[in-house]
């Protein structure tokens, strides 16, 4: 197969299918970014919060909630901002590549700075820098798909990106666990993040935007572009809400997983338990993520796949509430992986199908990706009081299941995509 389009046709709707090499390199770059995020989120930040909590006046749960929420706030602004900047970039290296390079390099440096944190303040600042820089790379990577991939191949490519994402989550968790210390874990994640983007950056020329195609600069127009009206683009609005609710449900599940295994399930080695559950979830996700995207491309439909995968995830999340044992956690992780695999690939394809304009692909995907970051802000605000005052983990996972189910049902409101 061939790669799509000439390197100077940045605004054309892609018609030629992308090749396996391009897909593999972009997927590796995507996975490397997720290593940089989830090594900290799954293991390293929780370990630092536990170290810094004594004497700080905060519990480890509250400290972790504040740090992850602050990072997510940075992500909310950074992803659409860097997406919009990449839309306007006329570099000889293309629209997206410069931001992938800068974001990955900045992310690696930021992870090393975070490794040297000596208290809650420097921990929070370091994590915010990680979110800022890695979101620059992530915005550019995701925008490359609608730039280069034709519509009826996006489910499959989204599946491979989703597979790389979960491998990045597993890999980040594994690196953080196996490195033998918090500092070494951050260093391992930093190195992988930087090296993982190299094959795409070095091996695949990016599409270039001609200076004449870039709109004149206007600060007011640039800022107004981030306000995507759900009245003018209702399908984009409903697709965004569906992604937000299902990702909020998933964030509620993951946020206190280490503490859930330690304090409720009583698993003997909770850090190892997180790694095992992540691996189980990853294996079942890998079994469905590419197949779900291919199947969706083949039948030309998106909404039924999103609906039923969301229902399945809600059932698995409810099981964490009702069956608070180690075997129950393993079963829930496996079923969640099946559902989230299909959702990841098909939802990504659905999102690219409802984008309004080629010139704003990066910015619009950045706005859509707020639905990935905002749950990281909302989840701690919901989870901390539920766990502390309103019924503990049983109620937390029932709320999570209800939120995810609502997201799955709302996908039916989208009209322009089957």
Give a yes or no: residue 8 inside a domain.
Answer: no
Query: Any bridge partners for residue 64, and if so which?
Result: none
Looking at residue 229, its pLDDT comes to: 66
Model pLDDT, residue 55: 77
- Exposure of 41 by Cβ count < 10 A (0-12 exposed, 13-18 middle, 19+ buried)? buried
Asked whether residue 13 is domain-assigned, the answer is no
pLDDT cut 70: percent of the chain above it: 95
Q: What is the pLDDT of residue 34?
A: 94
DSSP per-residue codes, 233-250? SHHHHHHHHHHHHHHHHH
**What is the average per-residue pLDDT within 339-359?**
83
Winning range, highest mean pLDDT, from 70-74, 140-144, 217-221: 140-144
The residue written with tokens 């992308």 in the block is 18
More confident of the two residues 241 and 210 = 241
Look over the chain and give the mean of its residue pLDDT values, rounded to a whole number.
86
Per-residue pLDDT at 130 exceeds 80: yes
Residue at 404 is within a domain = yes
The number of beta carbons lying within 10 Å of the beta carbon of residue 1 is 12
Q: In the predicted model, what is the mean pLDDT of residues 41-46?
A: 87
* Span of 148-157, 217-226, 279-288, 355-364 with lowest mean pLDDT: 217-226
Q: Examine residue 9 and state whether it is found in any structural domain, yes or no.
A: no
Residue 377 pLDDT more than 50? Answer: yes
Neighbours of 15 (CB within 10 A): 9
Asked whether 176 and 44 are in contact (CB, 8 A), the reply is: yes
Length of the chain, in residues? 418
What pLDDT is recorded for position 224? 66
The domain tally of the chain equals 1
**Residue 322 in contact with residue 332, Cβ under 8 Å?**
no
Query: Which of 181, 35, 202 shows the shortest CA–CA distance to 107?
Result: 35
Which pLDDT value is given to residue 3? Answer: 43
Would residue 406 count as lying in a domain?
Answer: yes
Contact 374, 382 (CB under 8 A): no
- Higher model confidence: residue 267 or residue 139? 139
* Residue 8, pLDDT score: 55
First to last CA, the chain: 27
Quick check: 30 pLDDT over 50?
yes
Report the percent of the chain where pLDDT is more than 90: 30
Q: Reply yes or no on whether the pLDDT at 305 is more than 70.
A: yes
Q: Which of 125-139, 193-207, 274-288, 358-372 has the lowest mean pLDDT?
A: 358-372
Higher pLDDT, 103 or 178: 103
Residue 418 covered by a domain: no
- Does residue 3 sit within a domain? no
- Looking up residue 210, the CATH number of its domain turns out to be 1.20.1250.20
Count CA within 13 A, CB hemisphere, residue 242.
Answer: 30
The stretch 53-67 carries a mean pLDDT of: 82
CA separation for the pair 170, 38 (Å, rounded): 8
Tens-digit pLDDT profile for residues 265-275: 777 788 888 88
pLDDT for position 334: 92
Distance, CA of 350 to CA of 414 (rounded, Å): 10
User: Does a structural domain hold residue 6?
Assistant: no
Over the stretch 151-210, which tens digit does the pLDDT of each residue have? Answer: 888 888 988 998 898 789 888 988 888 887 889 999 999 999 999 999 999 999 998 888
Residues of the domain holding 93 = 20-413
Helix (H, G, I), strand (E, B) or coil at 15: coil
As a whole number of angstroms, the distance between CA 23 and CA 183 comes to 33
């Amino acid at each position: 197969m061939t790669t799509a389009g000439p390197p100077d046709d940045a605004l054309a709707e892609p018609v030629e299918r992308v090749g396996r090499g391009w897909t593999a390199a972009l997927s590796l770059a995507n996975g490397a970014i997720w290593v940089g995020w989830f090594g900290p989120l799954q293991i390293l930040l929780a370990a630092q919060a536990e170290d810094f909590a004594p004497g700080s006046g905060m519990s480890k749960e509250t400290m972790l909630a504040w740090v992850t929420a602050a990072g997510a706030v940075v992500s909310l602004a950074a992803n659409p901002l860097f997406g919009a900047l990449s839309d306007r970039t006329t570099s000889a290296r293309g629209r997206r590549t410069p931001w992938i390079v800068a974001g990955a390099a900045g992310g690696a440096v930021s992870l090393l700075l975070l490794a040297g944190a000596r208290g809650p303040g420097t921990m929070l600042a370091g994590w915010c820098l990680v979110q800022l820089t890695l979101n620059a790379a992530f915005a550019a990577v995701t925008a490359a798909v609608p730039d280069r991939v034709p519509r009826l191949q996006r489910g499959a490519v989204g599946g491979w990106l989703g597979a790389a994402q979960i491998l990045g989550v597993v890999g980040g968790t594994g690196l953080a666990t196996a490195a033998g210390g918090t500092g070494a874990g951050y260093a391992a994640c930093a190195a992988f993040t930087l090296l993982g983007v190299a094959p795409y950056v070095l091996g695949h020329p990016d599409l270039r935007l001609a200076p004449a195609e870039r709109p004149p600069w206007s600060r007011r127009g640039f800022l107004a572009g981030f306000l995507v009206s759900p009245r003018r683009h209702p399908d984009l609005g409903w697709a965004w809400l569906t992604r937000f609710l299902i990702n909020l449900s998933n964030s509620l599940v993951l946020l206190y997983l280490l503490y859930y295994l330690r304090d409720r399930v009583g698993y003997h080695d909770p850090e190892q338990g997180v790694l095992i559950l992540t691996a189980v979830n990853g294996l079942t996700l890998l079994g469905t993520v590419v197949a779900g995207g291919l199947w969706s491309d083949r039948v030309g439909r998106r909404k039924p796949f999103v609906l039923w995968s969301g229902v399945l995830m809600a059932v698995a999340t409810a099981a964490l509430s009702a069956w608070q044992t180690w075997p129950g956690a393993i079963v829930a992780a496996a079923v969640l992986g099946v559902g989230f695999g299909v959702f990841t690939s098909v939802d990504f394809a659905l999102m690219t199908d409802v984008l309004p304009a080629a010139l704003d692909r990066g910015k619009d995907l950045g706005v859509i990706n707020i639905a990935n970051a905002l749950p990281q802000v909302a989840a701690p605000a919901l989870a901390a009081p539920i766990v502390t005052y309103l019924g503990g983990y049983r109620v937390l996972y029932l709320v999570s299941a209800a939120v995810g189910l609502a997201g799955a049902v709302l996908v039916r409101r989208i009209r322009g995509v089957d």
